[in-house]
Structure 1
Amino acid sequence: MSSSTSIPELTNVLGKSKSPYLLQHKDNPVAWQEFTPSTIQIAKKLDKPIFLSSGYSACHWCHVLAHESFEDEEVAETMNKYFVNIKVDREERPDVDRVYMTYLQATSGGGGWPMSIFMTPNLEPFFAGTYFPKVRFKSLLMRIAELWEEDKEQCLAMGKGAIESMKDMSGSSARIPGTLDEILSTCPSTKIYSQLLKLCDTRYGGFTQGGSRSSGPKFPSCSMTLEPLARLASYSISDQVDNEKAREMAIKMIRGIWKGGIHDWIGGGVARYSVDAKWIVPHFEKMLYDQAQLVIGALDFALLSNPSEAEDNTHRERLQEDRELCFDLAADILKYTLRDLKSPDGGFWSAEDADSPPSKGAKKSEGAFYIWDARELDEVLAEDSDLVKEFFGVKDDGNVELQHDMHGEMKGKNILYQAKGYDEVARQFGRTADDVRDVVKNSIVRLKARRDQRERPGLDDKILTSWNGLMLSTLSQAASTLPETYPIKSKCLPAAEAIVSFIKDRMWDESKRELARSWREGKGPIGQTDDYAFLIRGLLDLYESSGKEEYALWAIELQEHQDELFWDETGDGYFASASDEHVLVRMKDAQDAAEPSATSVTLHNLSRLSLIHSNEYEKYEKKAEDTYLSIGEELKQMPRAFGYSACGLMDIEKGYREVIIIGSPSDNKTTQLLQVIRSTYSPNQVIIQIDPSNPPYGLGKLNDVVKSLVDNIEAGKEDEVSLRICENGSCGLPVKDLEEAKKLLGVE
């Protein structure tokens, strides 16, 4: 085999990157390049295949592959000799990652990170995998190099065929005729309920990927579980859907997460997923998007667990317990994110790593920051140690099963999880349940003080527009929904507004009307569809929480630009990214996963905007309908994979309504009315606030109903705090009495 020497030998250039993930690899002996036009040109000139490695900074198995292979001089020598090696941060360049992940899934039946792709200099893939052990990876490198040397034409043909196949399945095609009624007639919501019922783990909570109900791994996957379950628990869908059963499935999952090791009992927040059925053993990375979505899910089910609707005392006590659980989880996660993931400038960082050194100078290992030796608990907790160890399932020889510790990094260590209830521990130690709660609570403070002395996991301190949009929604809804008894509530609205200020100041180009996808020591790549969609959703939530119409007006502007950049004029729906000659397939990404898809979030945004900017009602409704039809076959055949889009259909079937309040935010009656409105779960509702003391009214130019009310205010005809509901094209009479408002809104 030979390699070209016409171009100077490549060197590792990642030290110039701003991506935390790429910077993790800047000292590898591999001559890593970034995904740029110049790199691609070099590969073409050298006539070498490209090895593309995609991952993210908090990815445990990405670290394993790096330590075993990319830090190895011999492996690096082979990579550098026969390949042009490119590193991609999949969070900064999901457009690149998405193309090759689609190829990986199509050829192997699965996917994940690290993603390892071998492709031609023309960026056409011909072999793919994920993590490879070192010996196998070395062998694979040589086999691919030999194949390129001996039968390059086969590699080129395979790559070209792969790209053509992906273009065929990318979703960009002629419009599909049909109607929303045809999609609804297939009962996607009922199908989702039936699927979740089959996949629900009735023992430990959560949902499996199939097979045994009590098996791992388990993910929160809120857009595919908690979001549809909330609608199924609230709406009258059909005789086949049991509202209470839907609520119970969600609560079982929330309780499993709260009690498990996936929940960080000491510092708050949740890990990305659990490898086991019991939610005990997590992959320890903490992602911002998980925190944001799980808070919203918990808040929804707090509202849906209403003790005042109970039929008897037993049911009332259970609902009250469920409600407190949900509020506790939401507050716990918010406390963590506001303390550990919020940047001083207002944006939220992306993630914390899974790995950290177990001791000073030691090699990093998974979960080292979070796990405990039983003797360390004895040392920190003294006379309280035995009780706390019983509560948290701590064993002298460790509580992590070998099957969940492949590298033996947690041998003899313990993951803290709620192994026993407060009552059970109380009986065991001759104490009251309240005593046990107090001991556990105080011990958590002491254990956190000890844990804070350890070296923290690495922080991915890039700020993503999309994930900050999710967090904006979370903070806005928490500011409206959390009870005043949770001190963290008071921090939520200011933190939400700080996100908007950060994005507008640092990541929004007013002259180009263009968002950046990320920020770290400056702007990153241009924004993608999910950046616009998630931020618009967050702005609409913040508008409803704050009453400040500037947020709704910016959301309207961003929606216009999203339509300009990403709308598919040929086949309808939204492309996932802007056009780029080096991203060979411009794909659509409508399927929900760990995050809701940009398509599904946009569908909800369009429905809400059609009410807020009602003068353009037909335009938004048409855009939404065309988008639904673009994924109509998928919604008919596999609605659970499009769960959040299906939620939008459920909201449409239920019927949207506007709740309009006229009143100053400083008026106590306005506050009381808002509390009543926000006390129920109503995702099909848009709240519009008109403050008579704060003109001008920008929405008055965009909404005829608001304009007529503003005209009345200016004419002195609306001089009291009032509430009215508009639905089905007409508005009801103003209601000024609080009890009458409760009846109108169906509040118990």
Structure 2
Amino acid sequence: MSSSQDSSKHSNRLVNAKSPYLLQHANNPVDWYEWSQEAFDKAKHENKPIFLSVGYSACHWCHVLAHESFEDELTAKIMNEHYVNIKVDREERPDVDRLYMTFLQATNGGGGWPMSVWLTPDLHPFFAGTYFPKGTFRQVLMKLAEVWERDPNRCVESGKQVIEVLREASNTASDSDIMVQPLAADVFKRLHGRFDPVHGGFGGAPKFPSPAQTLHFLARYAAYHLGAPNASAHDKKDAESARDIAVFTLTKIYNGGIRDVVGGGFSRYSVDEHWHVPHFEKMLYDQAQLLSSALDLYQLLPVSSRDKKTLELMAKDIISYVFKDLTSPEGGFYSAEDADSLPSIDSTVKKEGAFYVWTAKQLDELLGIDAELFKYHFGVEEQGNCDPRHDIQGELKGKNVLFTAHTPQETAEKFGKPVDEVQKTLEANLATLRAYRDKHRPRPHLDDKILTCWNGLMISGLSRAYEVLAADSEVASKALKLAEGSAAFVRSHLFDEKTGELRRSYREGQGPTGQADDYAFFTQGLLDLYEASAKEEYLAWAIDLQKKQDKLFYDSEGGGYFASAPDPHILIRMKDAQDGAEPSAVSITLSNLQRLAHFAEDKHAEYNEKAESIIASNGQLLKQAPYALASMVSAALMADRGYMQFIYTASDASEGALLKLIRSTFIPNRVLIHLDPTCPPRKLAELNSSVRSLVDELEKKGPAAEAKENVRICENFTCGLPIEDPEELKKKLPLVSSA
């Protein structure tokens, strides 16, 4: 059979895949399989090792490896002759990715994608790496094939030993003697020590926003001390520092090239230390987390701070981008846009960042007399502004990544114009570039896979936006509509009403079974959406999903939660508590349990028991490396402060002064319960004795009772008297209000 016939045969197996990443490889000459029993059986039957390739559709270096090696006939021939080749989308199968990434990191000291792992037919790993250049990749393939043919037992025994070591490492002993305040202080000290005071961020290049590991924690650490009336001067100073380094980082990100100045949204990371040259893929989870962090820090800043406006613009930029480019017609949010694209409609070769970068000449032609002002403001250079050291493949030579090089005031002074005129000119220029780009440049590939977990993160950010940006009614209402549209999509396409189970992904049909992060992130999204919308259906659904997550993922023997669903082909069911590009599922679960203990307080003992088991089962790691579990430390810190339960009563909350005041304050340990006398929360009343007594009281007054707007604040399951005066409520709130 000829190689062309081989290619035709092999292309058909991935043609039926749902994953955009797998479909990108459907025409490779490599004889790819999906992660499946068929592949495992073939490896055992032919006694061949497995080559496992894991990546995602928007990954630039995944594309490079594919072009150099997987599309090469000679390399494919080596792979097909000596291996059973399996292609996995890490976003669809995080359980597969998690296990073998742990092996890669343990053996190489680091990891990333594309991930290349060699397995025995029994799925035990014996060698791994990330991107291999074309020649090196062939050499590795041949060398490992020789090792397998000469002494397969050596590989088998090595693989078994590795799995046993990983299994032992995953079964850490319980430790319930945890003091959260010292751990939080350690995390802050480490972040403060790694903070880049010139460019923002933490550590050197490459720089990732990593909100879960940094910004989310810093906002809560700041609120913990700023909101404490008896905090020491030292603690308040640290709190202000935590807030300020987080704000500084976000403003640098917003003003850097990591933001798509023309079309909105943020790239995954910057290859340099000053957020200028990004890897251009845009991920939904980054938009969601940056949105939440921008809103948190916006509320923490005093009204007089000039950075508040930047954070507000950042939040609105993300909402606009997600609405325009990542929202499906049915309401779900797509996963990502690619790093690579065609430079023009006539081009045939994709280049990284082609959709986003500009030559000085192009800007001169498009903007005319405004070009000099625009180029000055956005740091454009005649020969391009991308450092060759950060352009390994030379694709950005002569090109400019736009970034805010000068403030509007500086630009106005430079050109002798009023600031308002400069801002209007820049807005018009950006509109011109946006129109040109949309018409003449093919958009990057869209990963239109809809993930439950990332939709949950986005729902949380949008729900917060509805509350925090209420002064801009158009943006706020759009945010709530988007959040509710996503929840409706998940309910109709990714949720089984009969079993109560979630699916992980949707694209032309449902994908694999839901993992722990799907349940955790989406439950969090529903809790946030309930607090924003006052619709009890979201809270009831969140309660049911937590019950299902407990059934599927809770470890009744060792405590805590597994990260992956049961699967006989996943050799170790891991409990991964460390944060990465996203917060760990178990940390978000801890926060959810703590909140649910106050929403459904009749079940608080059950929720608290599981929450405590999370801390205990991760106790050793928390003591050894709390900075790796920053999201868990954040959640534990909120429990240490104690939750404030606000029971808000009003027949029409739309203009409620008390509700606006509560929402104007950053209270990360808040639980907001809505009680409409004309439509009492029945489900909640069944599970919360405080709400039940209030509902009973209202019903005694009769169905026509119109209660004056009031709020009761409950702490430690003890409620105060109703408050009707905003000035009285102000005295009860933490001292971090932006009002």
TM-score range, shorter chain: over 0.9
For residue 257 of structure 1, what is the amino acid of its counterpart?
I
Give the Cα–Cα distance (whole angstroms) in 2 for the partners of residues 460 and 52 of structure 1. 21
For 2:70, the equivalent position in structure 1 comes to 70
CA deviations on 1:591-648 (whole Å, 9 max, x unpaired) are 0111000010000000000000000011101110111111111212211111111011
Within 5 Å, which residues of 2 pair with 1:494-573? 494-573=481-560
- Between the two proteins, the alignment pairs up a number of residues equal to 717
Query: Is the 1:12–1:32 contact (alpha carbons within 8 Å) kept by the matching residues of 2?
Result: no
For residue 107 of structure 2, what is the amino acid of its counterpart?
T
Within 5 Å, which residues of 2 pair with 1:707-746? 707-716=692-701, 719-746=707-734
Within 5 Å, which residues of 2 pair with 1:71-90? 71-90=71-90
Give the Cα–Cα distance (whole angstroms) in 2 for the partners of residues 666 and 398 of structure 1. 53
Within 5 Å, which residues of 2 pair with 1:156-555? 156-171=156-171, 176-179=174-177, 182-184=178-180, 187-208=182-203, 215-236=204-225, 239=234, 242-307=238-303, 316=304, 319=305, 321-359=306-344, 360-453=346-439, 454-485=441-472, 487-555=474-542
Matched residue SS, 1:13: helix
CA deviations on 1:347-396 (whole Å, 9 max, x unpaired) are 00000000001122320010000000111111111100000001111111
Within 5 Å, which residues of 2 pair with 1:619-638? 619-638=606-625
Give the Cα–Cα distance (whole angstroms) in 2 for the partners of residues 273 and 696 of structure 1. 44
For residue 117 of structure 2, what is the amino acid of its counterpart?
I
* 1:585 partnered with 2:572: yes
CA-CA distance at 1:282 after TM superposition:
0.3
For residue 343 of structure 1, what is the amino acid of its counterpart?
S
Query: Is the 1:12–1:29 contact (alpha carbons within 8 Å) kept by the matching residues of 2?
Result: no
CA-CA distance at 1:570 after TM superposition:
2.0
Give the Cα–Cα distance (whole angstroms) in 1 for the partners of residues 322 and 242 of structure 2. 29
Give the Cα–Cα distance (whole angstroms) in 1 for the partners of residues 530 and 461 of structure 2. 13
For residue 505 of structure 2, what is the amino acid of its counterpart?
S
Give the Cα–Cα distance (whole angstroms) in 2 for the partners of residues 177 and 248 of structure 1. 34
Query: Is the 2:710–2:722 contact (alpha carbons within 8 Å) kept by the matching residues of 1?
Result: yes
For residue 221 of structure 2, what is the amino acid of its counterpart?
L
Query: Is the 2:466–2:532 contact (alpha carbons within 8 Å) kept by the matching residues of 1?
Result: yes
Give the Cα–Cα distance (whole angstroms) in 2 for the partners of residues 511 and 442 of structure 1. 53
Query: Is the 2:174–2:620 contact (alpha carbons within 8 Å) kept by the matching residues of 1?
Result: no
* Cα distance, 1:398–1:10 mapped onto 2, change above 3 Å: closer
Matched residue SS, 1:224: coil
Give the Cα–Cα distance (whole angstroms) in 1 for the partners of residues 687 and 473 of structure 2. 37
Query: Is the 2:658–2:724 contact (alpha carbons within 8 Å) kept by the matching residues of 1?
Result: no
For 1:680, the equivalent position in structure 2 comes to 665
Within 5 Å, which residues of 2 pair with 1:145-156? 145-156=145-156
Give the Cα–Cα distance (whole angstroms) in 1 for the partners of residues 437 and 23 of structure 2. 27
Give the Cα–Cα distance (whole angstroms) in 1 for the partners of residues 501 and 381 of structure 2. 55
Within 5 Å, which residues of 2 pair with 1:12-161? 13-161=13-161
CA-CA distance at 1:433 after TM superposition:
2.4
Matched residue SS, 1:242: helix
Give the Cα–Cα distance (whole angstroms) in 2 for the partners of residues 79 and 177 of structure 1. 47
CA deviations on 1:50-106 (whole Å, 9 max, x unpaired) are 000000000000000000000001110111011000000000000011111000000
Give the Cα–Cα distance (whole angstroms) in 2 for the partners of residues 16 and 339 of structure 1. 29
Query: Is the 2:99–2:574 contact (alpha carbons within 8 Å) kept by the matching residues of 1?
Result: yes
Give the Cα–Cα distance (whole angstroms) in 1 for the partners of residues 11 and 635 of structure 2. 50
Give the Cα–Cα distance (whole angstroms) in 2 for the partners of residues 260 and 495 of structure 1. 27
Matched residue SS, 2:316: helix
CA deviations on 1:688-720 (whole Å, 9 max, x unpaired) are 010011146221111000000001111119732
* Cα distance, 1:61–1:54 mapped onto 2, change above 3 Å: same
Q: Which has the larger displacement, 738-747 or 27-36?
A: 738-747
Matched residue SS, 2:179: helix
Query: Is the 2:647–2:673 contact (alpha carbons within 8 Å) kept by the matching residues of 1?
Result: yes
Matched residue SS, 1:594: coil
For 1:602, the equivalent position in structure 2 comes to 589
Give the Cα–Cα distance (whole angstroms) in 2 for the partners of residues 30 and 590 of structure 1. 36
Give the Cα–Cα distance (whole angstroms) in 2 for the partners of residues 704 and 654 of structure 1. 23
Matched residue SS, 2:722: coil
Give the Cα–Cα distance (whole angstroms) in 2 for the partners of residues 54 and 449 of structure 1. 36
* TM-score, scaled relative to structure 1: 0.94
Q: Which has the larger displacement, 125-134 or 630-639?
A: 630-639
* 1:615 partnered with 2:599: no
Give the Cα–Cα distance (whole angstroms) in 1 for the partners of residues 606 and 298 of structure 2. 35
Matched residue SS, 1:222: coil
* Cα distance, 1:356–1:305 mapped onto 2, change above 3 Å: same
Matched residue SS, 1:52: strand
Give the Cα–Cα distance (whole angstroms) in 1 for the partners of residues 681 and 534 of structure 2. 14
Query: Is the 1:378–1:385 contact (alpha carbons within 8 Å) kept by the matching residues of 2?
Result: yes
CA deviations on 1:255-283 (whole Å, 9 max, x unpaired) are 11011000111000100001111100000
CA-CA distance at 1:178 after TM superposition:
2.6
Query: Is the 1:725–1:731 contact (alpha carbons within 8 Å) kept by the matching residues of 2?
Result: yes
Residue number among 623, 643, 647 corresponding to 1:660 in the alignment? 647
Query: Is the 2:10–2:27 contact (alpha carbons within 8 Å) kept by the matching residues of 1?
Result: no
Give the Cα–Cα distance (whole angstroms) in 2 for the partners of residues 256 and 249 of structure 1. 11
CA-CA distance at 1:667 after TM superposition:
5.9
For 2:5, the equivalent position in structure 1 comes to none
Give the Cα–Cα distance (whole angstroms) in 2 for the partners of residues 134 and 367 of structure 1. 23
Give the Cα–Cα distance (whole angstroms) in 1 for the partners of residues 582 and 401 of structure 2. 27
Give the Cα–Cα distance (whole angstroms) in 1 for the partners of residues 12 and 245 of structure 2. 50
Give the Cα–Cα distance (whole angstroms) in 2 for the partners of residues 154 and 72 of structure 1. 30
* Cα distance, 1:667–1:247 mapped onto 2, change above 3 Å: closer
Matched residue SS, 2:645: strand
Give the Cα–Cα distance (whole angstroms) in 2 for the partners of residues 727 and 135 of structure 1. 64
Structure 2: state its 5+ residue gaps: 1-8, 226-230
Give the Cα–Cα distance (whole angstroms) in 1 for the partners of residues 466 and 324 of structure 2. 17
Query: Is the 2:35–2:87 contact (alpha carbons within 8 Å) kept by the matching residues of 1?
Result: yes
Matched residue SS, 1:223: coil
Query: Is the 1:223–1:595 contact (alpha carbons within 8 Å) kept by the matching residues of 2?
Result: yes
* Cα distance, 1:457–1:10 mapped onto 2, change above 3 Å: closer
For 2:683, the equivalent position in structure 1 comes to 698
CA-CA distance at 1:288 after TM superposition:
0.1
CA-CA distance at 1:653 after TM superposition:
1.8
Query: Percent identity, aligned pairs only?
Result: 51
Query: Is the 1:233–1:247 contact (alpha carbons within 8 Å) kept by the matching residues of 2?
Result: yes
RMSD of aligned C-alpha atoms? 1.5
Give the Cα–Cα distance (whole angstroms) in 2 for the partners of residues 547 and 697 of structure 1. 13
* Cα distance, 1:352–1:491 mapped onto 2, change above 3 Å: same
For residue 611 of structure 1, what is the amino acid of its counterpart?
H
Give the Cα–Cα distance (whole angstroms) in 2 for the partners of residues 260 and 524 of structure 1. 36
CA-CA distance at 1:513 after TM superposition:
1.7
Give the Cα–Cα distance (whole angstroms) in 2 for the partners of residues 373 and 574 of structure 1. 51
CA-CA distance at 1:10 after TM superposition:
6.5
* Cα distance, 1:522–1:496 mapped onto 2, change above 3 Å: same
Matched residue SS, 1:100: helix
Query: Is the 2:408–2:423 contact (alpha carbons within 8 Å) kept by the matching residues of 1?
Result: yes
